[in-house]
């Protein structure tokens, strides 16, 4: 019931007769404002519902579930009269007709789809624990391009699933036809943060130099570590905010990929995967 409710609530505000804006990114825009210029009708009603099995989040313990909530529930996006959902248990993406709830198509990845999807100019984007970034045609689900974000096809058992050694849990954000994402959640194995052409899949820049830095941990002990990309990315002005799972986000230059700052030890044992912001400030959920 908890799962189906997350879909039903989306449908309550999308009346078939209404003119509406696309909700093409998680929380609407690249700042994750969760605000749309659309004016809702005074009378909302349920048009249809679909039911799926309960979600099983990637992390088991309560603290991690609180700080990294990205796959505890469905996080639908809306574009071109379709609703798009990612499945962390069936490793697929599904498109539903917005007027009827009928499944239009589905596409399978090679690992769990845990991060929210993104839409842009008739294309759908998502990452998977298989270490890849996918671009699909929104009309029929056919692949336009697929690129590996991981340095190798090696796999391991992680979170009770067979996944890439560098799972792609950098939740995609898009601005000016460029998508930003990342792979790897273990800095000691290298982290790979990308800017990619949304149209062609061409890599514009890649930062792979942050995983082996010798820095202080929140408990003031030094170690080889840095930001571990896990959560949905946010853009604040000319900065890319890279979610760090249970830690504070790191800031990167949007145009060059240069790391600007990552205040891990100074922030103490705080931080979480949720970040939103505007051009001046950002807000980060923590314990």
Domains of the chain: 2-39+46-284 (2.40.128.630)
Residue 5, pLDDT score? 46
Strands 231-232 and 170-171: parallel
| Residues 6+ positions from 193 with CB-CB distance below 8 Å | 170, 180, 181, 182, 206, 207, 208, 210, 229, 240, 242, 252, 257
Contact 233, 242 (CB under 8 A): yes
The model's pTM: 0.90
DSSP state of 35: -
CA distance 193 to 170: 8
Residue 30, pLDDT score? 96
Work out the burial of residue 212: count CB atoms within 10 Å of its CB; fewer than 13 is exposed, 13-18 middle, 19 or more buried: middle
Tokens at residue 182, please? 């990342």
Residue 110, pLDDT score? 98
Residue 11, pLDDT score? 46
Residue 63, pLDDT score? 72
pLDDT by residue for the chain (287 residues), tens only, comes to 344 444 544 544 444 444 457 999 999 999 999 998 888 888 888 989 999 998 888 888 777 677 778 888 899 999 999 999 999 999 999 999 999 999 999 999 999 999 999 999 999 999 999 999 999 999 999 999 999 999 999 999 999 999 999 999 999 999 999 999 999 998 889 999 999 999 999 999 999 988 778 888 777 788 877 888 999 999 999 999 998 878 889 999 999 999 999 887 676 667 877 888 999 888 887 76
């Amino acid at each position: 019931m908890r799962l189906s409710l997350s879909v039903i609530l989306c449908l309550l505000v999308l009346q078939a007769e209404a003119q509406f804006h696309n909700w093409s990114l998680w929380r609407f825009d690249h700042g994750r404002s969760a605000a749309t210029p659309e004016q809702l009708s005074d009378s909302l009603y349920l048009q249809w519902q679909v039911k799926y099995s309960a979600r099983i989040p990637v992390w088991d313990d309560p603290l991690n579930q609180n700080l990294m909530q990205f796959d505890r529930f469905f996080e639908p996006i809306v574009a071109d009269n379709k609703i798009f959902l990612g499945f962390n248990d069936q490793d697929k993406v599904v498109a539903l007709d917005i007027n009827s709830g009928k499944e239009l198509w589905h596409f399978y990845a090679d690992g769990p789809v845990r991060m929210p999807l993104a839409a842009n100019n008739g294309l759908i984007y998502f990452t998977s624990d298989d270490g890849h970034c996918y671009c699909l045609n929104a009309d029929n689900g056919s692949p336009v391009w697929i690129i590996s974000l991981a340095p190798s096809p090696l796999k391991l058992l992680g979170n009770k699933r067979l996944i890439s050694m560098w799972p792609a849990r950098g939740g995609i954000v898009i601005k000016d036809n460029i998508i930003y994402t990342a792979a790897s959640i273990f800095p000691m194995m290298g982290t790979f943060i990308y800017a990619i052409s949304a149209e062609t899949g061409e890599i514009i820049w890649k930062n792979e130099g942050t995983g082996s830095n010798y820095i202080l941990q929140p408990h003031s002990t030094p170690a080889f570590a840095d930001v571990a990309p896990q959560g949905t990315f946010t853009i604040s002005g000319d900065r890319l905010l890279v979610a760090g799972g249970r830690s504070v986000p790191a800031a990167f230059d949007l145009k060059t990929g240069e790391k600007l700052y990552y205040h891990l030890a100074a922030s103490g044992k705080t931080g979480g995967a949720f970040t939103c912001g505007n051009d001046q400030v950002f807000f980060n959920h923590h314990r």
